[in-house]
Amino acid sequence: MRKLYKSNTDIKICGVCGGIGEYLNIDPTLIRLIFIVLAFTQVGILAYIIAALVIPRETY
């Protein structure tokens, strides 16, 4: 069973997009672009902040 974690290796701000990309097995750049597009509606900024607070950091 896979779990969603913030990435420790693919970090730009908090590692949220890297973690979501690893979880969905897609390029994190696509996730970042989606958040940028959503940021124009303020939904992306709020979603990113909530995800950064809720998603745990990956442990080894």
User: pLDDT value at position 53?
Assistant: 93
pLDDT in tens, 23-36: 999 999 998 898 88
- Residues 41-59: pLDDT tens digits? 888 888 888 989 998 987 7
Contacts of 34 (CB under 8 A, 6+ apart): 44
pLDDT average, residue stretch 3-31: 88
CB count, 10 Å around CB of 35? 19
**What 3-state class would DSSP assign to 48?**
helix
Q: Is 9 a residue whose pLDDT tops 90? A: no
DSSP of 7-44? -SSS-SSSSHHHHHHHHHTS-HHHHHHHHHHHHTTTHH
Q: What is the pLDDT of residue 60?
A: 67
Distance separating alpha carbons of residues 8 and 34, to the nearest angstrom: 21
Q: What is the pLDDT of residue 24?
A: 92
